[in-house]
Protein backbone atom coordinates (compact mmCIF):
# COMPACT_ATOMS: atom_id res chain seq x y z
CA UNK A 1 0.00 0.00 0.00
CA UNK A 2 2.80 2.45 0.86
CA UNK A 3 4.53 1.83 -2.49
CA UNK A 4 1.27 2.51 -4.33
CA UNK A 5 0.76 5.82 -2.48
CA UNK A 6 4.36 6.88 -3.11
CA UNK A 7 4.10 6.07 -6.81
CA UNK A 8 0.81 7.96 -7.09
CA UNK A 9 2.32 11.00 -5.32
CA UNK A 10 5.37 10.93 -7.62
CA UNK A 11 3.20 10.77 -10.74
CA UNK A 12 0.96 13.62 -9.55
CA UNK A 13 4.00 15.68 -8.53
CA UNK A 14 5.72 15.07 -11.87
CA UNK A 15 2.68 16.03 -13.93
CA UNK A 16 1.73 19.04 -11.84
CA UNK A 17 5.15 20.63 -12.41
CA UNK A 18 5.70 19.44 -15.98
CA UNK A 19 5.46 23.01 -17.32
CA UNK A 20 8.31 24.30 -15.15
CA UNK A 21 11.62 24.97 -16.85
CA UNK A 22 15.05 25.84 -15.50
CA UNK A 23 16.83 28.76 -17.14
CA UNK A 24 20.26 30.32 -16.82
CA UNK A 25 20.21 33.98 -15.74
CA UNK A 26 21.96 35.09 -18.95
CA UNK A 27 18.99 33.93 -21.05
CA UNK A 28 16.23 36.02 -19.49
CA UNK A 29 14.65 39.24 -20.69
CA UNK A 30 12.53 41.73 -18.75
CA UNK A 31 9.70 43.06 -20.90
CA UNK A 32 7.42 45.55 -19.16
CA UNK A 33 7.96 43.92 -15.77
CA UNK A 34 7.49 40.33 -16.98
CA UNK A 35 10.29 37.82 -17.38
CA UNK A 36 10.73 36.01 -20.70
CA UNK A 37 13.31 33.53 -21.95
CA UNK A 38 15.25 34.61 -25.04
CA UNK A 39 13.78 33.00 -28.19
CA UNK A 40 10.57 31.89 -26.43
CA UNK A 41 7.34 33.80 -26.95
CA UNK A 42 5.61 33.27 -23.63
CA UNK A 43 6.39 34.57 -20.13
CA UNK A 44 8.57 32.34 -17.99
CA UNK A 45 7.08 29.79 -15.62
CA UNK A 46 10.01 28.18 -13.91
CA UNK A 47 13.29 28.80 -12.12
CA UNK A 48 16.08 31.20 -13.03
CA UNK A 49 19.55 30.23 -11.81
CA UNK A 50 22.61 32.40 -11.34
CA UNK A 51 25.44 30.58 -9.58
CA UNK A 52 23.65 29.34 -6.41
CA UNK A 53 20.87 31.95 -6.59
CA UNK A 54 17.34 30.74 -7.33
CA UNK A 55 14.38 32.80 -8.49
CA UNK A 56 10.96 31.41 -9.38
CA UNK A 57 8.43 32.87 -11.79
CA UNK A 58 4.87 32.07 -12.79
CA UNK A 59 3.70 33.58 -16.07
CA UNK A 60 6.69 35.94 -15.96
CA UNK A 61 6.12 37.38 -12.49
CA UNK A 62 7.94 36.57 -9.22
CA UNK A 63 6.42 33.67 -7.28
CA UNK A 64 7.57 31.47 -4.41
CA UNK A 65 10.75 31.36 -2.33
CA UNK A 66 13.84 33.11 -3.72
CA UNK A 67 17.34 32.45 -2.43
CA UNK A 68 20.43 34.60 -3.00
CA UNK A 69 24.01 33.82 -1.93
CA UNK A 70 27.30 35.67 -1.48
CA UNK A 71 30.34 34.53 -3.47
CA UNK A 72 31.66 32.86 -0.28
CA UNK A 73 28.61 30.55 -0.38
CA UNK A 74 26.80 32.07 2.61
CA UNK A 75 23.15 32.97 2.32
CA UNK A 76 22.49 36.61 1.37
CA UNK A 77 18.70 36.78 1.31
CA UNK A 78 15.50 34.78 1.55
CA UNK A 79 12.47 36.35 -0.10
CA UNK A 80 8.92 35.11 -0.51
CA UNK A 81 6.81 36.25 -3.46
CA UNK A 82 3.17 35.85 -4.42
CA UNK A 83 1.64 37.24 -7.61
CA UNK A 84 4.66 39.50 -8.19
CA UNK A 85 4.62 41.05 -4.70
CA UNK A 86 6.69 40.35 -1.63
CA UNK A 87 4.55 38.22 0.65
CA UNK A 88 5.73 36.54 3.85
CA UNK A 89 9.10 36.50 5.57
CA UNK A 90 11.98 38.52 4.07
CA UNK A 91 15.48 38.14 5.55
CA UNK A 92 18.85 39.71 4.68
CA UNK A 93 22.20 38.46 5.98
CA UNK A 94 25.66 40.03 6.09
CA UNK A 95 28.55 38.37 4.29
CA UNK A 96 29.85 37.10 7.64
CA UNK A 97 26.55 35.29 8.26
CA UNK A 98 24.81 37.65 10.70
CA UNK A 99 21.16 38.47 10.14
CA UNK A 100 20.96 42.19 9.23
CA UNK A 101 17.27 42.65 8.52
CA UNK A 102 14.04 40.71 8.88
CA UNK A 103 10.50 41.74 8.15
CA UNK A 104 7.24 40.38 6.85
CA UNK A 105 5.25 41.48 3.85
CA UNK A 106 1.62 41.16 2.91
CA UNK A 107 0.77 41.96 -0.71
CA UNK A 108 3.96 43.99 -1.14
CA UNK A 109 3.62 46.08 2.04
CA UNK A 110 5.46 45.76 5.35
CA UNK A 111 3.10 43.91 7.65
CA UNK A 112 4.11 42.40 10.97
CA UNK A 113 7.30 42.20 13.00
CA UNK A 114 10.29 44.26 11.76
CA UNK A 115 13.84 43.71 12.99
CA UNK A 116 17.03 45.55 12.05
CA UNK A 117 20.37 44.32 13.39
CA UNK A 118 23.76 45.92 14.07
CA UNK A 119 26.82 44.62 12.17
CA UNK A 120 27.68 42.43 15.17
CA UNK A 121 24.33 40.61 14.95
CA UNK A 122 22.74 42.33 17.97
CA UNK A 123 19.28 43.85 17.63
CA UNK A 124 19.19 47.51 16.63
CA UNK A 125 15.48 48.24 16.04
CA UNK A 126 12.35 46.17 16.72
CA UNK A 127 8.83 47.25 15.81
CA UNK A 128 5.69 46.37 13.92
CA UNK A 129 4.04 47.38 10.69
CA UNK A 130 0.42 47.18 9.70
CA UNK A 131 -0.41 47.51 6.02
CA UNK A 132 2.80 49.47 5.36
CA UNK A 133 2.51 51.81 8.37
CA UNK A 134 4.68 51.69 11.49
CA UNK A 135 2.51 51.03 14.55
CA UNK A 136 2.88 50.69 18.30
CA UNK A 137 6.08 50.96 20.29
CA UNK A 138 9.42 50.51 18.54
CA UNK A 139 12.48 49.65 20.63
CA UNK A 140 16.00 50.89 19.83
CA UNK A 141 19.16 49.16 21.08
CA UNK A 142 22.87 50.01 21.10
CA UNK A 143 25.55 47.66 19.73
CA UNK A 144 25.83 45.95 23.13
CA UNK A 145 22.13 45.05 23.05
CA UNK A 146 21.04 47.56 25.70
CA UNK A 147 17.71 49.34 25.21
CA UNK A 148 18.45 53.02 24.50
CA UNK A 149 15.03 54.33 23.56
CA UNK A 150 11.49 53.77 22.44
CA UNK A 151 9.38 55.39 19.77
CA UNK A 152 5.62 55.22 20.22
CA UNK A 153 3.89 55.52 16.86
CA UNK A 154 0.49 55.76 18.56
CA UNK A 155 1.66 59.12 20.06
CA UNK A 156 2.67 60.79 16.77
CA UNK A 157 6.30 59.67 16.92
CA UNK A 158 7.17 60.57 20.52
CA UNK A 159 10.68 59.27 21.34
CA UNK A 160 11.48 58.27 24.95
CA UNK A 161 15.20 57.89 25.65
CA UNK A 162 16.22 55.30 28.23
CA UNK A 163 19.02 55.92 30.72
What percent of the chain is modeled with pLDDT above 90? 61
Q: How far apart are CA 77 and CA 65, in angstroms?
A: 10
Q: Is the pLDDT of residue 10 over 60?
A: no
CA 67 from centroid of its chain's CA atoms: 8
Exposed, middle or buried by CB within 10 Å (0-12, 13-18, 19+), for 86? Answer: buried
Structural Rg of the chain based on CA atoms? 21
Sign for the CA dihedral angle at 52, 55, 56, 59 comes to: negative
Q: What is the pTM of this model?
A: 0.77
- Could you report the per-residue pLDDT of 62-116, keeping only the tens digit for each? 999 999 999 999 999 999 999 999 999 999 999 999 999 999 999 999 999 999 9
Question: Residue 20: its pLDDT value, please?
Answer: 61
CATH of 63-161, picked from 1.25.40, 2.20.110, 2.30.30, 3.40.1440, is 2.20.110
Amino acid sequence: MIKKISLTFFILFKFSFSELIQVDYSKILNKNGKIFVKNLGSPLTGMVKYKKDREFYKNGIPEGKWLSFYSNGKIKSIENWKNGQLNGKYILYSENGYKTFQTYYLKGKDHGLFRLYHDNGKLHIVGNFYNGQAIGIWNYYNEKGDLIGKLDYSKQGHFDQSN
